[in-house]
Amino acid sequence: MNSFTRTLTDRLQERKAEHLYRSRRILASPQAPEVFCGKQSFVAFCSNDYLGLANHPEVIEAFKHGLDKYGAGSGASHLVTGHSAAHHALEEELAAFTGRSRALLFSSGYMANVGVISCLLGKNDYVFEDKLNHASLLDGGLFSNAHFKRYPHGNLDKLAALLQIVDGEGLRLIVSDGVFSMDGDVAPLANLLDLAEQQQALVMLDDAHGFGFLGTHGGGLSEAVREQGVVVDENRLPILVGTLGKAFGTAGAFVAGSEALIETLIQFCRPYIYTTALPAAVAEATRCSLRLLQGENWRREHLRQLIEKFRQRCLELALPLMPSTTPIQGLLLGSSTAALAVSHILETHGLLVPAIRPPTVPLGSARLRITLSAAHSMAQLQHLLDALEQLAPTIRSHANQSV
């Protein structure tokens, strides 16, 4: 074994010893409430397919139509020959959906977030981020070479203090998730927008986990806040990001904003310019899922009922439930060992609920991240609740030890 391989092996062994080693599951079925890993069946409570569209027959049919019309691959970047009529139509529909002038497709949410922040900011600018922002947002801030400041989760007083001590004439960009992916709580968007106006800063919102569920028509956190009487337009919220691989059920991401913003990204954003476009068939499938997302309000209503029932029963059982009204429901166990142990026991009940451990979440906050979908039935939810009731003493004991 050479020194390079030995170094890598030592790092891997260290990760195993800390109970942080990850292994990939090999799925043998579509995304659905019931999945197959090999020949074993599980009821899965870990997918981000919040509206149950990833295996919807109409979305699949639209995908097949796109394959017949455009083929399997886009063949080039958007700025060469990879930008199809399907891509263009989807961008126009996403712009209308978000109430923005234009939208721009990216191949992934990570690329969109890193690309936007690093494109718009430089060494003379400032970026302020919530400490629990998604890794792609944090990496975008680091890659931009801007002055990078992080504020405690949801602490706008600390953010205001950071904004006030900044000198210079550079751009000041506040970046936040809409729904925080591991905690499930929602950013205080109305207050963020007010603070940004007072301090002459810009706001970028990544609403990856809000689109589809929040708002009357699934328009995400910005729609939900607008329905409360708050002005949320492309002037107050100039940069809006969403992913298509969650509630939309397909793949990719988009950025929505003004004409000037989108043209700037087309001209200068390296992750956009130098990446092969998503297959046009994916865009066709997403156009279908966008129609379903907006039109089938019963999905959001059923999902809210699942969330309400889940939270009510967990609180009755005195489980360490994190504060969230979204499909992301966390049971805080504390140690990685405890989270893994409970996750493995749930597997014996035919339930797939992976443990979430550092560095994905802060040290000492390992948890079960339970995600609910409109495709789940009440009976499937009851199956999970029955198992949690049996495990409640064990879960409470682990949680108390971590306090």
CATH number of the CATH domain containing 317: 3.90.1150.10
Handedness of CA 279, 281, 286, 289 (dihedral sign): negative
pLDDT at res. 402: 63
Is 9 a domain residue? Answer: no
Structure tokens at 118: 């690093």
pLDDT at res. 398: 77
Over residues 362-388, the pLDDT tens digits come to 999 999 999 999 999 999 999 999 999
Amino acid residing at 171 = L
Q: Are 244 and 253 in contact (CB under 8 A)?
A: yes
Q: Which is the catalytic residue, given 78, 246, 302, 398?
A: 246
Is 270 a domain residue? Answer: yes
Q: Quick check: 201 pLDDT over 80?
A: yes
Structure tokens at 261: 């913003």
Helix (H, G, I), strand (E, B) or coil at 234: coil
Average pLDDT, integer, range 168-182 = 94
Q: Quick check: 20 pLDDT over 70?
A: yes
Q: Name the band, by pLDDT with cuts 50, 70 and 90, for residue 397.
A: confident
pTM for this predicted structure:
0.95
Q: Name the band, by pLDDT with cuts 50, 70 and 90, for residue 127.
A: very high
Is 4 a domain residue? Answer: no
At which of 295, 318, 350 does a domain end? 295
Average pLDDT, integer, range 192-198 = 97
Average pLDDT, integer, range 86-100 = 98
359 preceded by a cis bond (ω within 30 of 0): yes
Q: Quick check: 106 pLDDT over 80?
A: yes
Q: Name the band, by pLDDT with cuts 50, 70 and 90, for residue 168.
A: confident
pLDDT at res. 287: 98
Decide if 302 is catalytic. Answer: no
Decide if 209 is catalytic. Answer: yes
Average pLDDT, integer, range 324-344 = 95
Q: Which is the catalytic residue, given 134, 209, 302, 376?
A: 209
Closest Cα to residue 231, out of 239, 223, 220?
A: 223
Decide if 69 is catalytic. Answer: no
Closest Cα to residue 67, out of 281, 284, 289?
A: 281
Regarding whether 227 and 133 lie in a shared domain, the answer is yes
Number of structural domains (the chain) is 2
Contacts of 167 (CB under 8 A, 6+ apart): none
Helix (H, G, I), strand (E, B) or coil at 25: coil
Is 97 a domain residue? Answer: yes
Q: Are 156 and 113 in contact (CB under 8 A)?
A: no
At which of 235, 270, 295 does a domain end? 295
At 206, which helix (H) or strand (E)? strand 202-206
Q: Quick check: 35 pLDDT over 90?
A: yes
Structure tokens at 326: 């979204």
Domain hosting 151: range is: 57-295
pLDDT at res. 243: 97
Instruction: Find how far residue 65's CA is from the centre of its chain.
Output: 28
Over residues 337-371, the pLDDT tens digits come to 999 999 999 999 999 999 999 999 999 999 999 99
Closest Cα to residue 286, out of 262, 252, 257, 256?
A: 252
pLDDT at res. 185: 97
Measured distance CA(216)–CA(211) in Å, rounded: 11
At 336, which helix (H) or strand (E)? helix 336-348
